[in-house]
């Protein structure tokens, strides 16, 4: 949807308001508008949750491999133009399936997704001293940093 393409600054404010939930459901794009970076945001502007049209599409049901070496990425994300994101399923010979087999669809979002991983508790910097958002102290620390960035943007 055209309304899913947002200026990164506006998207950052929205994500801050909805406690970073929208940041899990956005994709950076190379197109700039008025010299500013853009993002594709598939969340509802009034709730911060995935919007109804996005819930009808496969990508919201694809999980992320994160830093788990036991998981194998079998979905590739491609930007075929500046504002469209496509997911392609690929199964290599080492992970070939037999008829009737089921496999979880997994993608690797790379380093751009690390902030989300940390909020969810499985980032590289998560440990007993720095947990996910279920750890109040860690969540508050991240939120103060985010608030400072929002104040600088304003």
pLDDT digits (tens, 9 = 90+) for 127-148: 666 777 777 877 787 778 888 8
Structure tokens at 140: 């508050």
Max intra-chain CA distance, the chain: 55
* 8 touches 104 (CB < 8 A): no
Asked whether 22 and 43 are in contact (CB, 8 A), the reply is yes
CA distance 18 to 81: 29
Looking at 27-36, 42-51, 98-107, 113-122, which range is the least confident one?
Answer: 27-36
- Rounded to whole angstroms, how far apart are CA atoms 147 and 81? 33
pLDDT band at 85 (very low <50, low <70, confident <90, very high): confident
């Amino acid at each position: 949807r055209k309304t899913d393409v947002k200026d990164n600054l506006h998207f950052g404010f929205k994500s801050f308001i909805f406690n970073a939930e929208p940041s899990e459901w956005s994709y950076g794009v190379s197109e700039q508008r008025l010299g500013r970076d853009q993002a594709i945001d598939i969340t509802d502007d009034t709730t911060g949750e995935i919007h109804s049209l996005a819930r009808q599409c496969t990508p919201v049901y694809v999980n992320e491999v994160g830093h788990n070496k036991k998981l194998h990425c079998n979905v590739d994300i491609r930007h075929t133009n500046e504002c469209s994101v496509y997911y392609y399923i690929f199964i290599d010979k080492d992970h070939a399936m037999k008829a009737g087999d089921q496999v979880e669809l997994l993608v690797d979002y790379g380093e751009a997704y690390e902030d989300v991983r940390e909020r969810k508790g499985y980032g590289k910097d998560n440990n007993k001293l720095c947990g996910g958002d279920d750890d109040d102290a860690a969540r508050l620390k991240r939120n103060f940093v985010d608030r400072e960035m929002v104040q600088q943007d304003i």
